[in-house]
Amino acid sequence: MDPDRLLDGLDPSQRRAVTTEAQPLAILAGAGSGKTRVLTRRIAHRCATGSADARHVLALTFTRKAAAELDSRLRAFGLRDLPAAGTFHAVAYAQLRTRWSSSGTAAPTLLDRKARILGRILGGTTRIDASDLATEIEWAKARLVSPDRYPIAAAQADRRVAVDPERIAEWFRRYEAEKRKRGLVDFDDLLIQCADAIESDPGFAAAQRWRFRHLFVDEYQDVNPLQERLLGAWLGDRPDLAVVGDPNQAIYSWNGAEPTFLTAFATRHAGAEVVALEHSYRSTPQILHTAAAVLAGGRPGSRHVLEAHRADGPLPGITGYASDLDEANGIARAVHDHHMPGRPWSAQAVLVRTNAQTPLIEAAFRRAAIPHRVRGAAQLLDDPEVRDLLRTFDKLREPLSTTLADLEGSIERQRAELLEALEDDDPYGDLDGDDPGPLVDETTAAGRKIAAFEQVLRLGRDLLVVEPAARTDGFSGWLRATLREEGPEAADAVSILTFHAAKGLEWPVVHLAGVEAGFVPIGHAKAAAEREEEQRLFYVAVTRAADVLRCSWAEQRTFGTQTVDRKPSAFLGWIRTAAVELAPKATHAADPKAAVAATRVELDRADLGDRPLHDAHLVRSALQAWRADVARQAAVRPTVVLSDKALEALVRIRPATLDELASVRDVGPSTRERHGARLLAVVAGEAVDQPEADPLTGT
């Protein structure tokens, strides 16, 4: 393989990252900058030039899917020998199995579910369940926190738990003792024991360091202290380490990740070089400028914008709706409008902060016959709590409708208990201190459990629509068949997924839904570090868009039986500012003037300053009333006067002048000529006297 060919098509910063002889090396790769391309080409280039031996290369990442992607790309280079690519846990487990086998030691049994032991340890405790306790233990182990140190560490990290941290520490100690007694290890133990073995056994350390001499780590901003300890054990005193990551996409600190390992890389590794990739190849300049404004919190002087290699595109759009139902229907309309020749359904995604927001959007898509899939739905069956729930269902011979009613009651009780436990912390207050509703944060075990059960409930109701007499014992089989169809190989469909689940993915068109205080940022993010992470998470969501970014929010949202007033997220103010700055450069494939006018007027409507919002539902109602009056006078259907599509376009764009009205493509020339002035008056909220002339001819 010709090493020079590996440099074809690389920009100067990418070429530097691939070819530099510096060790250690950190590559800061912003969204769309070609992170995986640079990592795999650096590995291949070093192997091709002889500065690394492919048989002794280890590329580490965090998921099996990412490891498979690295392996696939490295194979495509045609290297004579293939580097190893795997997750931290997979590599550690393989090394430990070799050690156990060579020493004649019986391998311990791998515990895949902590809840099997923790449920017995908790006994009759109701303030915390096994999954919540498992989350705390996993966080502690990731942060190298022992049971004895847990109370202090939890207080310092502001961990919100429903019971006294001292009790959690005691359960943590009993869990570790029970594992030792039974000869069990959990996934965290694999990393701990591998690091212990390397640090205490010189022979084992030498063997592993001989096997893997050249270390590469992907998504380094997501490394936690335990993984960093193991990485340091593998590396020893050698400098041959290259890491790739983006500190602006560090969104897992709540789970133990420590982004300062990346941001302070040069300080922690003497002689290290840091190369920043300055170019982005995914998104338009408008989206990159908007993303930079999000990271900077709207402060112009502190923005760092990646250099775009795409042509100008449309401005980001912001649309406010009267209710969450209106928002779901509006998103469905927007998705339909963006579906066109050359742009399949799969070119679009709807991103939400929590899974609890998806059911209304899915229902709107079903009504509009828009094919869709909920990313991650197939993993629902892997959830331990869901597996237990379905095993219970398999034993029941009653109507599914009865079982689902019981499940709904159970969900409400769990939600009430969670809110009661967190009441003292007021985790759901929005930016102004008002309660935006009982939001459940799925970064907690309790939140994930509630969200998973709600998803089971929703899918059960879907079955009852087509099979009202369905029995409970047949539900799990139907569910498994249904979720298999929603996997990555499903037919052309719009993806619906959370901000977290969208990381690493991209689409030409992205709709960000529910961008409201309480969701974005999530209500319980009170500390500065938590708010900064929410800011980075929103940046991740924004940068999933390549061409079109559309944000929406609702003035009212229903949680259970409670309807709550909502406010737009403060983050939308940053998007508004960025869009106004960029308005002169905005383009649109079919009608640039319409794109600029639509975005400008929509941004002006949003309640992002001190003035009140001119409510979307009021404009819609006024237009509908005017249309109905005109139709009665002409004895025609209202849609003959003004189509539904034109009406919604007027609600969305809010033209203020005849020129702006002319840019609304859905309002035809004859309608503008006959009713232009009256339409502008209605949209502006002015009283309109009905004409004496013929309403259709204008005479």
Give the pLDDT score at 420: 59
pLDDT of 439 over the 50 cut: no
Q: Supply the DSSP symbol for 63.
A: S
Compare 115 and 145 and report the one with higher pLDDT: 145
Q: What is the pLDDT of residue 194?
A: 96
Coil, strand or helix at 28: strand
Least confident of 244-258, 374-388, 550-564, 633-647: 374-388
User: Is residue 215 scored above 90 in pLDDT?
Assistant: yes
Q: Residue 359 pairs with which residues in a beta bridge?
A: none
Of 272-276, 424-428, 533-537, 623-627, the least confident: 424-428
Q: Give the pLDDT band of residue 379 (cuts 50, 70, 90).
A: low
pLDDT value at residue 656: 82
Q: How far apart are CA 402 and CA 81, in angstroms?
A: 59
Q: How confident is the model at residue 466 (pLDDT cuts 50, 70, 90)?
A: low
What are the pLDDT digits (tens) for 293-324? 998 886 765 567 788 888 888 999 999 999 99
DSSP code of residue 128:
S
pLDDT for residue 275 is more than 80: yes
Provide mean pLDDT across the span 236-243: 95
Q: What separation, in Å, do the N-terminal and C-terminal C-alpha atoms of the chain show?
A: 79
Q: Which pLDDT belongs to residue 526? A: 78
Residue 524 has pLDDT above 50, yes or no: yes
Higher local confidence (pLDDT), 163 or 435: 163
Comparing 599 with 526, the larger pLDDT belongs to: 526
Q: Please determine, for residue 611, whether its predicted confidence score (pLDDT) is greater than 50.
A: no
pLDDT, residue 615, reads 53
Nearest to 169 by CA among 150, 197, 154: 150
Could you give the CA distance from residue 606 to residue 603 in angstroms, rounded to a whole number?
Answer: 5
More confident site: 170 or 416: 170
What's the pLDDT score for residue 64? 78
Is residue 618 within 8 Å of 685, Cβ to Cβ? yes
Tell me the Ramachandran region of residue 601: left when phi exceeds 0, alpha when psi lies from -120 to 50, beta otherwise. alpha
Percent of the chain with pLDDT over 90: 42
**What's residue 462's pLDDT?**
67
pLDDT of 91-112, one tens digit each?
A: 999 999 889 988 888 889 888 7
pLDDT digits over 11-60, tens only?
Answer: 999 999 999 999 999 999 999 999 999 999 999 999 999 999 999 999 99
- pLDDT band for position 265 (cuts 50, 70, 90): very high
Packing angle of the helix pair 324-338, 358-367 (nearest 10 deg): 50
Q: Determine the pLDDT at residue 445.
A: 63
- If you average pLDDT over every residue of the chain, what do you get? 83
Q: Give 481-501 as a DSSP string.
A: HHHHTTSTTSSS-EEEEEHHH
The rounded distance, in Å, linking the Cα atoms of 310 and 681 is 40
What is the arithmetic mean of pLDDT over 362-367? 89
pLDDT band at 483 (very low <50, low <70, confident <90, very high): low
pLDDT of residue 218: 94
pLDDT(651) > 70: yes
pLDDT at 140: 95
pLDDT given at position 430: 35
Average pLDDT over residues 237-259: 91
Task: Give the Cα separation of 374 and 490 in Å (integer).
Answer: 11
Q: State the virtual CA torsion across 371, 374, 375, 378 in degrees, nearest 10.
A: -110
- Most confident range, picked from 429-443, 474-488, 529-543: 529-543
Q: Residue length, the chain? A: 699
* Weakest mean pLDDT among 331-335, 338-342, 508-512, 685-689: 685-689
pLDDT at residue 169, rounded to an integer? 95
Average pLDDT over residues 483-500: 70
**Burial zone of 202 (CB within 10 Å; 0-12 exposed, 13-18 middle, 19+ buried):** exposed
